[in-house]
Amino acid sequence: MAELKDIIRQTKAQFCLDCGKCTAVCPVSRFDAKFSPRLIVRKALRHPDKIYADENIWSCIGCNMCTVRCNYNVSYVDFIRYLRMKSRENGTEPVFSHAGVPESFMHLMAKKETKQNRLGWIPDDVGIDDSSSTAFFVGCAPYFDAIFQDIGVRATEGSIGALRLLKAAGISYNVLADERCCGHDLILSGDLNGFLDLGHANLEEFAKRGIKKIIVSCPECYYTLKVDYPRYFNDWNVEVCHITEVPEISQVSRHTAADGSVKRKVTYHDSCKLGRYFKMYDGPRNLLNSIAGVELVEMENNRENAVCCGASPWMYCGSINKQVQDERLRQAGSTGAELMVTSCPKCQIHLTCAQKSHNNAAEEIKIVDMYHLLSKSLARKEKD
Amino acid sequence: MEENNTRVGVFICDCGMNIAGSVDCEAVKDVAAAIPGVVVAMRNKYTCSDPGQEEIKKHIREHHLDRIVVASCSPRMHESTFRNCIADAGMNPYLLEMANIREHCSWVHLHDKPAATEKAKDIVKIAVAKACLLQPIEEAKIPVTDAALVIGGGVAGIQAALDLADSGHKVYLVEREPSIGGVMAQLDKTFPTMDCSICVLGPKMMDAGKHPNIELIAYSEITKVSGYIGNYTVVVNKKARYVNERECNSCGKCAEVCPVMVPDEFQQGFSSRKAAYIPFPQAVPASYIIDMKNCLGNNPVRCNKCVEVCEKKCIDLNMADKETEIKVGTIIVCTGMDVYDPTVLDEYGYTRFENVITTMEFERLVCGGGPTEGQILRPTDRKVPRRIGFIQCVGSRTANRGNPYCSNVCCMNTIKDSLLIKEHHPETEIFVFYMDIRAYGKGFEDLYRRSKEEGVHYIRGFPGEVLEVPGTKNVKVRVENTTTCKVEEYELDLLVLSVGLHQDAGLKKLCNLLNISLTADGFVMEAHAKLKPVDAPTPGIFFAGSVEAPKDIKDSVTQASAAVSRSSIILNSAFIKADGVKAVVDQEKCTSCGVCARICPYNAIEVDIKAKSGARIIVAACAGCGACSAECRFDAITVRHFMDDQILSQISSALAADPQNKIVSFLCNWCSYAASDVAGISRMQYPANNRFIRVMCSARVHERFIWHALKLGAPLVLLSGCHIGDCHYITANHSTQKRADKMWDAMEKLGIRPERLQLEWISAAEGPRFVHIMQELEKMRKAVTLEEIEYTRKVLSSMGDAN
């Protein structure tokens, strides 16, 4: 693993001006007075020996608001991710949420001998092409369906929607029977080895199936495949593209525009990865706007200023996270929209979870996956 | 060769430990002493010091030296010092050659003394090789036009124009806007003395407007500049004002009847003006102007009201732009800066919330001559704000949307503003959100203390975003008070963004006209950051004010007087000596083909092709770039001090031993050589295998030089100059590009990899880029095999001297 001094240089932490902008905009700091991205960097620069034991390093939700506002673009999230790796190397065990089930699934997937039934959820009409060198990367949606049945989230609905969009767009693609979790949550929770195991297994599967290009809908998978895989795997040479970047998809959506099927006021929740990390604000909005009858309204904080869904890896989820989520739900509720559209299955899970856990003013608003919504308007068109 | 007849003295400078720290100067001295033609070689702790120079003079007399090599710093630093030194001892100043063993060696190879020492020996040998062939040059005397052009009529330009005019020189003061005054005219008070800005500037503006030696050319722009120090010809485009400014008595009747209302830019859009208007009451020239973009007179149905009402008949809606040509000896650039536009920093809500304003807007709000007549009223409800916040460093000190530098004036400006508010309404609560307060100048700390005494709260930390409170239209900021590590919230009636300063929008275009460069910050580059801070690298051009870097009024005025003093040195002399580096035609070889005349960027060559007159150089106009010399197919033109035999001899010397390890690089004096100096001054480290040959322009590099280097076994040759468009010799480097293209074709045909000739444009500010290129070149050099070098040598040798 890299040395702290290298990480300081890579993340530009030494340029920190101590201006406190990061803390002022951090959604965690808003509710947790002890947490400040600035102070974590400061402590790491002054007392590197003590920082790994500092419990604050587990509070960051990785939303990247700090970096976007920072005068020197210090990569706080990368910095904290490294501190977590070192901390776990020193024996710290983080507290996992949902009784550690999601984390256990990831570790199960990291084992080579694990046999998965990954394709059972796929309906017949989507047409998978086994010989295609393009793969649609599903991610953990089938696992989420199993884990989060109780809150009524069906993450595979979004995946099915994405597949139907691809089919309608005339794109040939494969879905891999032995795909694994991308590893996003393991590396963000400091489990570098777990991440590397998953990555190696995926690389092997891609090579076996002759995959040259990956289309992905989950924003966190997209980030991991696009940014972390080239960083950690020298032989990585697969093109990664987000489904909203596929030009044919926008053609299809424009095609559906004529039928006027979905008449609804919706608001779009920017996921942090697609938004602040990749600045992909217009793509999803254009797709939603292309559905006839849809009126897109913005929340108080949107695009670069969007509030995070409140939790990223499956750990340390508590009252602070709930307050961030409640704030986001309140904003969604006050738009008067019927639907809150997410492009990330985890945003959908976290926000729904917050909605179910206690009554709040925004409970009325239905949280729905963007690809599911897009494919529904598509399906009606095809019926005509 | 006459080598054996020359008597060279080599003087090696330790420069304290600057050179001796990483170069074994004693070893360099021993090597120098053994070079044929060298009569004496010696070391000195500081060669540029008095004793150091005396030593040179003493040795010239004692040993009858006729060529001098000083191995020390960059010739851009001390060439003139040592030229004067040897001239004192009776030698022709052009018999000096400098070996740059500091910027090119000791400072850039700090951690490898053996390699640095070997390189220093080579650098000295290369210098001696050239020195042996140096010829004395008599400098031509050029008459000086006793007039100066001052570009920009802000406080710096006004001061410069007045100082020059008062000392008896003719001044043309050209201002882009309808009135002089610049940014200072818009300010309410000035720090640290709290003088009324327009009250101190107004009288100076009037003086400048009526001084018999100053010709004020307002509402005008420079469109063409040609010539050289002492003799510039400048074309000024005087934009149509549609009002005869000499006749207008500013009665204001035109504005009264004008039906068109537009936002008033002088009042930062807080109030409106007519299409017939005077920029502000104290404007100089004190004349109205018609804003033709908004005037109805431009429409088919003409309004014509102003024309009818003007008693003196000085409005002419058919007036056209007019170009005039002026001749001046020197130019002082005082075009100032622009204020940062915070629109892009959307989190501060400048365009979304009306009660978020900039410091420039605040100046107008608080000014007695402003739209509220000096009452501080906030935009939404025109009520007196009781809680006012300032965010510092908006657009400054950032790599993320804005400028990387400190804008210099904003801290003091806010401190001043806080006191102005307290003067108006002592009960106002003021919060200044800052990162560092930089109160470094005379009287500045005192003003800061006064502000604190008045109870202004200074909170160390920047808000991350600004929200508007619905209903009240107050704004809310959240900020981490970094001194207590607590997040605090403030609700404010008015928020002022303390915006930074940046390059004026028109500066790039002007720089192209004047042939001057910009630093990475976007401000003009000085000839020497420490010792020639108001000189442009182009002789006869000077800077003053914020065009050079953000600065306050006092510094701008100080710099203006400094620029005048530098400019007067030239204007006070009837003649100046022209640089000796000029092209010379050998009439016996010249065929009057006319190629040289076509290529000369200065039209400094005359030739009558039909009459076979032979090419003739206009000495005063020749800038010495050498493009003609490298282009002449008959070897009929050479450039004094950069002659073919001198440069070929430098190449031979560079490659005399272990050529496979050496890269030969031709650096142009103005950009790439300057960049190499920047790399040296900044102690940036790079591999020690490069051998540099300085030419005035990359266009001087004849194909023959490159073939010669390749034939002698150079694995790699670098040709480098200013970026296209930035060439110090206007367009000379276009011929460099063409020549490189031609060379690459020829190399390919001969089976020599074209990559072995590299062409790079490096600006004078690009020290880091220079270093990066050096590192890349070293990688490329390693990839050149000995077989390739041997093959090249054979192919080129078999062709004899054809190349």
Predicted confidence (pLDDT) per residue in B122-174, tens digit: 999 999 999 999 999 998 888 999 999 999 999 999 999 999 999 999 999 99
> Which pairs from B268-272 meet CB under 8 Å and 24+ separation?
B268/B186, B268/B358, B268/B360, B268/B361, B268/B363, B268/B364, B270/B361, B270/B364, B270/B365, B270/B370, B270/B371, B270/B372, B270/B379, B271/B371
Q: B475-481 and B583-585 as β-strands: parallel, antiparallel, unpaired?
A: unpaired
Confidence category of residue A363, pLDDT binned at 50, 70, 90 = low
* Interval A249-300: pLDDT, tens: 888 765 554 455 556 899 999 999 999 999 999 999 999 988 878 899 999 9
Superfamily of domain B141-222+504-575: FAD/NAD(P)-binding domain (3.50.50.60)
**CA A288 to each of CA A156, A272, B775: distance values in angstroms, whole numbers, following the listed order:** 19, 18, 50
Give chain A's length: 384
Q: How far is CA B232 from CA A271, B249, B514, in A?
A: 61, 35, 10
Distance CA B258, CA B292 (A): 12
Contacts 24+ apart (CB under 8 A), A4-11: A4/A44, A4/A48, A4/A82, A4/A86, A7/A78, A7/A79, A7/A82, A8/A44, A8/A45, A8/A79, A10/A75, A10/A78, A11/A74, A11/A75, A11/A76, A11/A78, A11/A79, A11/A82
Q: What CATH code would you report for B1-137?
A: 3.40.50
Model pLDDT, residue A383: 46
Scanning every residue of chain A, which has its alpha carbon at the shortest distance from the alpha carbon of B479?
A: A24
Range(s) of chain B covered by CATH 3.30.70.20: 583-637
Quick one: what percent of chain A has pLDDT higher than 90?
Answer: 73
List all residues of chain A from 278 to 307 with a beta carbon under 8 Å from chain B.
304-305
H/E element, B568: helix B553-571
Question: From A67, which residue of chain B is nearest by alpha-carbon distance?
Answer: B400
Rounded Cα gap, residues B247 and B316, in angstroms: 12
Which residue did the predictor score with more confidence, B250 or B4?
A: B250
Q: Indicate if the pLDDT at residue B714 is higher than 90.
A: yes
Query: Which run of H or E residues covers position B158?
Result: helix B155-166
Among B649, B663, B695, smallest CA distance to B127 is for B649
Residue range A190-239, pLDDT digits in tens: 999 999 999 999 999 999 999 999 999 999 999 999 999 999 999 999 99
Chain A: nearest CA to B479, how far in angstroms? 5
Q: How many Cβ atoms from other residues are within 10 Å of residue B784's Cβ?
A: 18
Residue A29 and residue B399: Cβ atoms within 8 Å? no
Interface of A with B in 38-77 (CB under 8 A): 38-39, 65, 68-73
Which residues of chain A make contact with B464, given a CB cutoff of 8 A? 21-25, 65, 69
pLDDT average, residue stretch B500-515: 92
CB contacts of A15 in chain B (<8 Å) are: 399
B583-637 CATH pick, 3.40.50.150, 3.40.50.410, 3.40.640.10, 3.30.70.20: 3.30.70.20
The per-residue DSSP string of A158-205 comes to HHHHHHHHHHHTT---B--TT-----HHHHHTT-HHHHHHHHHHHHHH
β-strands B663-668, B690-695 pairing: parallel
Q: C-alpha angle with apex B222: B218 to B228, nearest 5 degrees?
A: 125
Give the Å distances, CA to CA, from B191 to B196, B374, B412, B422, B476.
10, 18, 7, 15, 29
**Nearby residues of A193 by Cβ (< 8 Å), 6 or more positions away:** none
Answer yes or no: do A38 and B480 touch at CB < 8 A. yes
Residue A279: exposed, middle, or buried by beta-carbon count in 10 A (0-12, 13-18, 19+)? exposed
Give the span between the Cα atoms of B643 and B583, in whole angstroms. 9
Residue B285's identity, in one-letter code, is P
Q: What is the pLDDT of residue A380?
A: 57
Interface touch B480/A18, C-beta < 8 Å: no
Give pLDDT tens digits for B65-98: 999 999 999 998 899 999 999 999 999 999 999 9
Chain A contact for B476 (CB, 8 A cutoff): no
Say which of B347, B397, B479 has its CB closest to residue A17: B397
Q: How many residues does chain B have?
A: 803
Closest-CA residue of B relative to A40 is B485
Chain B partners of A69 at a C-beta cutoff of 8 Å? 347, 400, 464-465
Task: Characterize B224-255 residue by residue with b for buried, 16 or more Cβ atoms within 10 angstroms of its Cβ, and e for exposed.
Answer: ebebbbbbbebebbbbbbbbebeebebeebbb
Q: What is the pLDDT of residues B406-446, one digit of tens each?
A: 999 999 999 999 999 999 999 999 999 999 999 999 999 99
Domain with CATH 3.40.50 in chain B: 1-137, 642-803
φ/ψ of B343, rounded to 5, equals -55, -40
Chain B, 377 to 396: residues with Cβ < 8 Å from chain A are 393
- Give SS3 for B609: coil
User: How far is it, in rounded angstroms, from Cα B328 to Cα B229?
Assistant: 9
Q: Does the pLDDT at position B803 exceed 70? A: no
Q: Tell me the chain B residues in contact with residue A20 when contact means C-beta distances shorter than 8 Å.
A: 460-462, 479-482
Residues B619, B140: contact at Cβ < 8 Å? yes
Report pLDDT for B2. 45
In the 8-state DSSP scheme, what is residue B106? I
Listed residue (B486, B489, B434) closest to B460, CA to CA: B434
Say whether residue A11 is in contact with chain B using an 8 A CB cutoff: no
Could A72 and B485 be called an inter-chain contact, meaning their C-beta atoms sit closer than 8 Å? no
Task: Note whether B399 contacts A: Cβ–Cβ < 8 A.
Answer: yes
Q: Where are the domains positioned within chain A?
A: 4-89, 98-245, 262-373
What kind of fold does domain B642-803 have according to CATH?
Rossmann fold (3.40.50)
Pairwise CB contact (< 8 Å): B347 & A69: yes
Q: How far is A301 from chain B (nearest CA, A)?
A: 10
- pLDDT, position B5: 82
Beta-carbon separation of B399 and A72 below 8 A: yes
- Residue A33, chain B, CB below 8 Å: the answer is yes
* A69/B399 CB distance under 8 A: no
- CA atoms within a 13 Å half-sphere pointing along the CA-CB vector of A172: 7
Percent of chain A with pLDDT over 70: 94
Residue numbers in B near A68 (CB within 8 A)? 400
Contact between chains at A305 and B478 (C-beta distance less than 8 A): no
Neighbours of B645 (CB within 10 A): 12
A4-89 sits in which CATH class?
mainly alpha
CB atoms A305 and B465 under 8 Å: yes
B480 in contact with chain A, both atoms CB, cutoff 8 A: yes
What H or E segment, with its residue span, contains residue A80? helix A76-89
| Residue B300 clears pLDDT 90, i.e. is over it | no
Q: How far apart are CA B768 and CA B352, in angstroms?
A: 40
**Average pLDDT over chain B, rounded to an integer:** 94
Dihedral sign for Cα atoms in the order B621, B625, B631, B635:
positive
Residue A270, phi then psi, degrees to nearest 5 = -70, 125
Closest CA to B690 of B71, B100, B66, B86: B100
Architecture of the domain whose range is B240-320: 2-Layer Sandwich (3.30)
Residue B655 has pLDDT above 90, yes or no: yes
Report d(CA B144, CA B170) in Å as an integer.
Answer: 13
Q: For every residue of B507-540, which 3-state class applies, written as one string? A: HHHHHHHHCCCECCCCCECCCECCCECCECCCCC
Say if residue B217's pLDDT is above 60. yes
The residue to which tokens 């001087």 are assigned: B700
Bridge partners for A369 per DSSP: A342
CATH of domain A262-373: 3.40.50
Q: What is the pLDDT of residue A249?
A: 87
Write down the CATH number for the domain with range B338-501: 3.50.50.60
Distance (Å, whole) CA B763 – CA B769: 9
Question: Given pLDDT bands bounded at 50, 70 and 90, which one contains residue A3?
Answer: confident
Q: Mutation test of the interface with chain A: which of B462, B465, B478, B488, choosing the one with the most A Cβ atoms within 10 A?
A: B462
Higher pLDDT, A252 or B754: B754
Q: Are A292 and A260 within 8 A, CB to CB?
A: yes
Task: Specify the pairing of strand B322-328 against strand B231-238.
Answer: antiparallel
- Put simply, the answer to whether A33 touches B487 (Cβ < 8 Å) is yes
